Amino acid sequence: MKLYIETYGCQMNVSDSEVAVSILKENGFTHTGDIHEADIILVNTCSVRENAETRVWGRLDVFRQIRKKKPEIIIGIIGCMAERLKAKLLEEGRVDLVVGPDAYRDLPRLIKQAESGKAAINVQLSCDEMYEDISPARYGSNGVSAFVSIMRGCDNMCAFCVVPFTRGRERSRDPETILQEIFELKEKRFREVTLIGQNVDKYNWKNSDASVINFASLLERVATANPELRARFSTSYPQDMTDEVLHIMAKYQNICKSIHLPMQSGSTRILELMRRGYTSEWYMGRITAIKKILPGCAISTDIITGFCGETEEDHKDTLSLMTWAKFDFAFMFKYSERPNTFAQRNYKDDVPENIKAQRLAEIIALQNKLSAESKQQDLNKVFEVLVEGFSKKSKDFLSGRNSHNKVIVFPKKNYSIGDFVQVRVIRSTSATLIGEVVKK
């Protein structure tokens, strides 16, 4: 059977889709990138905001048209929406299969069941599933850079967030299996790994002798075992990010100098309502530590605007914290109320839609200015770029990222995908830096 898979949402979903494809390949399925030759369509979904779910409903309408021409096709929803909506998804007969993030090992059996005409569902969450023995099928990969999952789940319980309900309890993966996966990637000529987890700073592995490996020591082991590889990680959490991690980053040249540290709001009052567990002063303290221990390190963030009870003053606090922190990059969102979260159960989603839109526009405009200033600072500097592919606009140009996670495009000449190239930035567009190769 031919399997087609679409992925929405975060890096963890990208990684999970690779696990799901690997499990199915082991069971005789082949992967296809062409939806029209598929016998089974899986869509790996996100529930984090309502519009992420709306997109998936739109895709299901498209799949329904495909089913009209090919009635035996199997359509499955996997991931966070599967976990959130469970059997409700089966009700209108639009899908045959519903599988939550911890149940992918059961996919082959469930698909058989769906083939026999019986709706199939497994949304059991687990306290220990890590898929650590499964070598992810890097089907959509550029062959250069790969995600390596180090944790699953989240125990933080931020008031707005659906993730603890869809991905279950926080758990860490055995470091030996992480290092083994990275070793295999290296053998396949990968050049960069990104260690991923909902909150990597909570990584915690207990050895049989009761000693503990925390995130800083895991990062150090990854860096020292693989000097020829670049290492990145995501996502950090302000409450949990330690100076120890920053010092390890400073110590190893192959750990990229880029940190994604979601602030969510610049107002301590809103952060408290969000149950984030830190104040704006604490957040500033963490940014100060990054700038001190890792001068020049890139910092990116996530911001939610229009959370319950947010006033104009709170919004101004967010803008001033952004200006103070000088983020290089940000993901910015309007608050979207999610069923069963603490906020939905206890607060009123009381900021009107037009105000949310207006505040978001102001936040985006400010970030555009900060991002432009950040790129301005890069002019004439030389960066090591890991080439990931061709520029979207021209095959005569290559595209890659520097340690700061910024995209740099430069003339191809004799360089190839997977090369590390020294590039001087000569100008920038709104999203990209343009450079020229520097001879060493």
Tokens representing residue 245 in the block: 């991690």
What's the 3-state SS for 236-300?
CCCCCCCHHHHHHHHHCCCECCEEECCCECCCHHHHHHCCCCCCHHHHHHHHHHHHHHCCCCEEE
Shortest distance (Å) from residue 9 CB to ligand SF4:
3
Shortest distance (Å) from residue 342 CB to ligand SF4:
16
Query: Which of 20-28, 158-166, 359-367, 395-403 is the region at the interface with ligand SF4 (rule: CB under 6 A)?
Result: 158-166
For CA atoms 151, 155, 161, 167, give the dihedral sign: positive
CA–CA separation, 296 and 289 (whole Å): 12
- What residues between 7 and 36 interact with ligand SF4 by CB under 6 A? 9-10, 12-13
Q: Which does 264 bind (CB under 5 to 8 A by kind): ligand SF4, ligand 5AD, none?
A: ligand 5AD
Residues in contact with ligand SF4, shown as a per-residue x/- string from 71 to 90 under the rule CB under 6 A: --------xx----------
DSSP label of 198 = T
Residues in contact with ligand 5AD, shown as a per-residue x/- string from 142 to 161 under the rule CB under 6 A: ------------------xx
Give how many residues touch ligand 5AD by CB under 6 A: 12
Question: Which one, 161 or 321, has the nearer CB to ligand 5AD?
Answer: 161
Q: Which residues contact 439 (CB under 8 A, 6 or more apart)?
A: none
Q: In this structure, which amino acid lies at residue 55?
A: R
CA distances from residue 296 to 92, 223, 287, 289, 299 in whole angstroms, order as listed: 53, 20, 12, 12, 9
Question: Which one, 136 or 262, has the nearer CB to ligand 5AD?
Answer: 262
Single residue of 14, 48, 408, 409 touching ligand SF4 by CB under 6 A: 48
CA–CA separation, 250 and 425 (whole Å): 23
Question: Which one, 48 or 114, has the nearer CB to ligand SF4?
Answer: 48
By CB under 6 A, tell whether 255 contacts ligand SF4.
no
Question: Which one, 153 or 418, has the nearer CB to ligand SF4?
Answer: 153
Nearest residue to ligand 5AD on Cβ basis: 302
Shortest distance (Å) from residue 370 CB to ligand SF4:
24
Sheet holding 145-149, edge to edge: 145-149, 192-196, 230-234
